Amino acid sequence: MSIYLALDTSICGLAMGLFEHSVTTPTPHLLWSHVHREAQGSAQLITKTFLDGLNVARCKENDIAGIVIGQGPGSFTGIRVGIAFAAGLQGGFSRTPPPIIGVSALQIFALRAHCQPQSEPAVPLTMETLAVLPGTRTTGYVAVVRNDINCKVLPLDLEEAASGEWALRGEPVPKTARFLLCGDWPEFERFVGVQGTVNRLEIAAVAEQALYGMGEHVGKVDWGRGVQMLPEPLYLRRSTVEERLERGGN
C-alpha cells in the first residue's frame, strides 16, 4: 500500500486529504481529510494540518508516495500557498522525492458532480453540467461536462457574452444544462436568467467534493512515470499588485 496526499488551496481556504492506494484496489481509501472553510489563514494552518493528518493516519512524511495538487482556476495567493507547500515537502525528502501531479479542482468537482449527481431524482448524463466559479463581478471560469464525460475549463466573461444566447467559445449552451454555481455570484444568476436552473452550492462543500475527487484521481494516475515538474497555475484573477499597476498604481 502507498500513501498519497491530495491538496487544494484554490477554491476555498485549504482542503487536504491522505489516501491509501495499491495496484490491487481500484478505489483509493480515504485515511483522513480536513477542509478549512475560511478564505483566509491557509498559509498559517497548512503545515500543522498536514502534521495532524499524518498523526491521525499513523504514517510519516516519508511515506508519501505522490502528491495531487489543485492548480486552479482559483485564488492567486491560495494557489501559490499550495504549490509552495508541495514543492517544499517534495524537496525535504531523504529518499527519492514523490512526484507532483497538478489537476483542476473545479474540473474534478464538475466531473464528480456530473457522474454522481446529488439531486433526486438523479440528473441524466445526457444533460450538460456546468460548474461556475466566480473571480470578479463579471469574470470567472466554467467547467463544462458534455455527454461524452469529457470536461473543459473555460474562461467566462459576462461583459463579452452576447446579449441573446449565451455561448462558450461559439458553442451554444442547451437549455437542459445544469448550472452549479460554486459560491455567490449574483451577476451570473441574473445573466443566466431563464436559460437554465442555477443551483448555488456552498463553496466549502465544493472544496470538499473536489478533494474526494482528487483522491479518486490518485488511482487513475501513472505514478511510475515519475512526474517531477510543478504544475502551471491558472489564476481566477491577477495579483493585487498587477491590478494596481494596470490602474496606474492606485
**Looking at residue 120, what is its pLDDT?**
46
Q: Is the pLDDT of residue 143 over 50?
A: yes
The DSSP code sequence of 169-191 is TTEEPPTT-EEEEES--HHHHHH
Q: pLDDT digit string (tens) for 64-80? A: 999 999 999 998 889 99
Q: How far is CA 101 from the centre of its chain?
A: 13
Q: Please state, in angstroms and rounded to a whole number, the distance separating the CA atoms of residues 103 and 186.
A: 28
- Give the SS3 label for residue 37: coil
Q: Please state, in angstroms and rounded to a whole number, the distance separating the CA atoms of residues 176 and 173.
A: 8
Indicate if 147 and 77 belong to the same structural domain: no
Q: How confident is the model at residue 9 (pLDDT cuts 50, 70, 90)?
A: very high
Indicate if 153 and 68 belong to the same structural domain: no
Q: Is the pLDDT of residue 42 over 60?
A: yes
- Name the more confident of 159 and 226: 159
Q: Which residues of 93-102 are buried (b: 16+ CB within 10 A; e: fewer)?
A: eeeebbbbbb
Q: How confident is the model at residue 244 (pLDDT cuts 50, 70, 90)?
A: low
Which residues lie closer than 8 Å to 163 by C-beta, 6 or more apart? none
Indicate if 199 and 115 belong to the same structural domain: yes
Average pLDDT estimate for 156-181 = 70
Q: Is position 60 within any domain?
A: yes
* Beta strands per DSSP E along 109-175: 129-134, 139-145, 151-157, 167-168, 171-172
Average pLDDT estimate for 119-135 = 71
Range of the domain at 113: 106-203
The mean of the pLDDT values for the chain is 83
The number of CA neighbours under 13 Å toward the Cβ of 16 is: 25
Q: Is position 9 within any domain?
A: yes
Instruction: For residue 133, give the CATH number of its domain.
Output: 3.30.420
Indicate if 116 and 127 belong to the same structural domain: yes
**pTM assigned to the model:** 0.87
Q: pLDDT digit string (tens) for 194-203? A: 555 789 999 9
